[in-house]
Structure 1
């Protein structure tokens, strides 16, 4: 310790044997709690990704039994592969549309459902329920709804509107997948926004109203700025999860029609498990990781410009 009078360091009493033993027990208990997470990250994340990087420098085809070092040949091929870059463009379009629609709808729902009105609990459960539904089950239900003779076109026909073949029209297939995924995950973001809204200090908003601020001004100048840390979290999670979408593509469109829904994760799967070119698929996986890392870094790097309390 440092004395407030003399400014000199004072030696405190040496810890006893029992206190040192309790400290070691506390450290051991803490390590025991975090060990499963550390083991999971290493065993299911870092180690497999290390193997992916290693495989990316090889020509590996299990069908013919080849596993040959090729250096940077896979990455050189990647740079000139128009299919990969087209798939990357589709992936970015899908991820950005999903992020904007999901975050916007979640914010609107949160602002509506945070009000103390009858039935809000029921509506919260209604919008959150798709989150806990199996992705495969959710996608199969929508497969019937968006079929050419499905429920959505049936409702449109009663209104005198001829609906498109949502999953077989190149102009509508990607948008349809975005909508399906938005309704699948918007409930989680809605709950996060509701929690953030409830944590906004009521006295600050009340002071603004007393000073004559309109409800819109309170929302834009107080509520939303105080929610920006949650907005950052939601946008990052939503964008990263959208970049590796696979199940809806595999079940509904298989990358079609044409290549309109061939996202890079589906191209990786097809390269590895259909064409049996695991080395080149690993290079595609490294590219996807780098793109996601750059996008996450951009979001994190710009947070000080718009996130409240960031310095």
Structure 2
């Protein structure tokens, strides 16, 4: 009797023959709910990422003079002008020097600080706060303060003068200007990578180090065989963030050196700004922005593909 009642109940739950199945099923309602949740992000990506990329490509095919009010189609002339640009080689070289210097010193110093602050000693919280505080400081304010410190009669040379050293004009020498900009940017953002490395280090199991000590492994060997592989995903993350950030630097150059002396600190983003907003070559500026986008995309894809070779648990 129970089995018969169950069958009858199931039969009654089915839609009657010939009756249309309702459109808003539970599955479709769940799908609609999911789309509504991601709609703001999709809208923002479409309006502020995809649409600007399309417009930049369109502008790069035109010569747009805002002052004269002209917008002429020139095809690929802006792209062929890249080969004739005498300054582009120096700009790319300055961009490469800045990016390499920033990535090496930022990641190296951040990892060193994280290793030191991962030890148990008094004042660790204070030092973490001190090293991280520049991250939340206004970028322009930070750069202006460093501009005063790096002047010929600024605070840095004042300290050097107390020990009998005649410091250079840091922002007016071709070599010292690039070094100064790199140092300012490293001190500004090293705290962020330090915190990421510190979190990764605290996630490494302690029993791995205990087993290595039992086997007689030295501290350097433990670092290369245990620490680096275990925090390699964080190294990948910080390297991608730092590389992309190094290629987008603008405010530091604009405030400290204005691309000088000469073109020694004229990185690609600042050169793009000069062409578009100082010389009013908006079409050529759009072309340079596409070059920048291509470089960032290529480096990011390269780093992501290389993760299979050195990132732990990747295959």
Q: Same fold (TM over 0.5)?
A: yes
Partner of 1:221: helix, strand, or coil? helix
Q: Structure 2: state its 5+ residue gaps.
A: 1-13, 15-21
Query: How far apart are residue 305 of structure 1 and its match?
Result: 1.6
| Partner of residue 191, structure 1 | 195
Deviations 1:178-234 (Å, cap 9, x if unpaired)?
000000000000000001101111222222222222222211111111111110110
Alignment of 1:112-191 (within 5 A): 112-191=116-195
- 1:245 aligns with 249
Distance in 1 (alpha carbons) for counterparts of 2:219 and 2:36: 49
- 2:106 is matched with which residue: 102, 105, 111? 102
Residues 219-234 of structure 1 aligned to structure 2 (within 5 Å): 219-234=223-238
Give the CA deviation at 1:282.
0.4
Structure 1 residue 149 displacement after superposition: 0.8
1:289 and 2:289 are equivalent in the alignment: no
Q: Distance in 2 between matches of 1:132 and 1:288?
A: 27
TM-score, reference length from structure 1: 0.91
TM-fit CA distance, 1:26: 4.4
Question: Is residue 2:105 matched to residue 1:66?
Answer: no
8 Å contact kept, 2:90–2:264: no
Does the 8 Å contact 2:64/2:282 carry over to 1?
A: yes
Correspondence for 1:39 among 38, 43, 47 = 43
Deviations along 1:159-187, whole A, 9 cap, x unmatched? 11110101111120011000000000000
Aligned-partner SS, 1:301: helix
5+ residue gaps, structure 1, are 1-13
1:28 deviates by 4.0
Q: Are residue 86 (structure 1) and residue 99 (structure 2) matched?
A: no
| Counterpart-to-counterpart distance in 1, 2:266 and 2:120 | 44
Which of 276, 279, 288 is 2:280 aligned to? 276
Find the residue that maps to 1:148 and give its secondary structure: coil
Work out the number of aligned pairs and report it.
Answer: 295
Compute the displacement of 1:29 (Å): 4.1
SS at match of 1:192: helix
Divergent runs of 4+, >6 A: none
Tell me how far apart the structure 2 counterparts of residues 304 and 146 of structure 1 sit (CA, whole Å): 42
